[in-house]
Amino acid sequence: MNHPNLLNDADDRSPGAISCELALQLLAEQRNDRQIFVSNQMTARIWPTISRHPLDLNYLSSTMGGAIPLGLGLALARPDYEVIVLSGDGSLLMNLGCLATVVASRATNITIVVMDNGLYEVTGGQQTAGREANVNYALIAQATGFRYFESFDNIEQWRAFALSRWAVSGPRLISLRVHRVAVTTERFTATKVDVELRRLRKFLSKSRDDS
């Protein structure tokens, strides 16, 4: 089902922000075969249009705030892979304590990319408390003990990071100030999440057997 508010407001571009699709495109271009990507909510609708990879898990339907814990579980179970979680700011706000869980777990192979548009986008674009409070997610990550934390609101800065800084040890949190996205039904992932999860599990199991 289309969301008329989103479609009508699709061209609304806040200044000093990054195109969500371009930001994700840069990630997809830089990925390697030792990286698991967990997309969620809005990114789970965009990521399958950019990437088709056996190490993708488009976590939709999800529980809001669940993507980071799920990614952490993957990271702890498979320290031989890097896990990149694509989270919305609304989802992170709903489960902010998970950042402490990540640090406490001592996982170093997890990166959280917060797509901060200040909105609950999938419900029609209502503003989050985080935008109203002008929350800086990178500084929260710093205070929590993340080894790498950075905010970007400029595509060139993000491009430079994506090209040069990916090897910095984790856990990492990267906050991207992004535009809202026009949602269309075509962007919804067609694969059921339980099928995707089992496919990922099988792939990871096979990779362990082969190594």
Partner 1 sequence: MSQTAAVAPIWIFYTGTLFVITVQSAIAGVIRMGITHVVWIPDSVMGAWESELAKQPLQLIRICREGEAWPLAAGLYAGGARPLIMMQTTGLFESGDALRNVAYDLKVPVYAWIGVRNWLNPESPDSARKFAVPIVNAWQLDHVWIYADEDFATMHHHYLQCQASEKLGVALIAEGAG
| Minimum separation from the CB atom of position 209 to partner 1 (A) | 10
| Minimum separation from the CB atom of position 93 to partner 1 (A) | 13
Distance CA 153, CA 211 (A): 40
Q: Are 43 and 189 in contact (CB under 8 A)?
A: no
Q: Are 204 and 180 in contact (CB under 8 A)?
A: no
Nearest-CA neighbor of 90 among 150, 37, 130, 136? 130
Question: Where does this chain bind partner 1 (CB under 8 A)?
Answer: 57, 61-67, 69-78, 95, 97-98, 100-101, 104-105, 193-194, 197, 200-201, 204-205, 208
Q: Are 117 and 178 in contact (CB under 8 A)?
A: yes
| Minimum separation from the CB atom of position 101 to partner 1 (A) | 5
| Minimum separation from the CB atom of position 194 to partner 1 (A) | 4
Distance CA 8, CA 182 (A): 8
The SS3 of residue 153 is coil
